[in-house]
Amino acid sequence: MKKVAIIAANGGLFDAYKVFNIATAAAATDAEVGIFFTFEGLNLIHKEGHKNLEVPAGKEHFQEGFKKANVPPIDELLGMAQEMGVKLIACQMTMDVMSLEKEHFVEGIDVGGAATFLNFASDADVTLTF
């Protein structure tokens, strides 16, 4: 089985699509997928935050394009990723810095440090950073 390790370090709407599109496509291709959410990347799995991610300034007109192309909303993609067994790991250190607790995030996530992710990524076939 192929293994895909992803680092999500940014928290905008575009970043979320990059992360979750690749993750769900990989999971649908029978890969074992793990995403490590760090710094602003934590937005993508924040309980409320992931439903209201920001579009980069000046790119607001893309909102219409997303609708027109019938791109699913992030919470739907996130739910799908979880349903397909994508492992979501929130970075403990960033959580401490931002005073966030596990309860602030969607259900079913893991919390870990850099070593947790490195352990997962050590034998990954594909490693991506967004």
Q: Which residues bind other proteins (CB under 8 A)?
A: 2, 21, 24-25, 27-30, 69-72, 80, 84
Q: How far is the CB of 29 from other proteins (least distance, A)?
A: 5
Nearer to other proteins, 21 or 92 (CB): 21
Q: How far is the CB of 31 from other proteins (least distance, A)?
A: 8
Alpha-carbon span 62 to 43, nearest angstrom:
20
Q: How far is the CB of 88 from other proteins (least distance, A)?
A: 17
Q: How far is the CB of 77 from other proteins (least distance, A)?
A: 8
Two tokens at 51?
């439903």
Spatial contact of 13 and 42, defined as CB atoms under 8 Å apart:
no
Which residue in this structure is represented by tokens 């680092």?
7
Nearer to other proteins, 96 or 125 (CB): 125
Spatial contact of 102 and 109, defined as CB atoms under 8 Å apart:
yes
Nearer to other proteins, 38 or 82 (CB): 82
Nearer to other proteins, 12 or 72 (CB): 72
Spatial contact of 77 and 83, defined as CB atoms under 8 Å apart:
no
Alpha-carbon span 37 to 43, nearest angstrom:
8
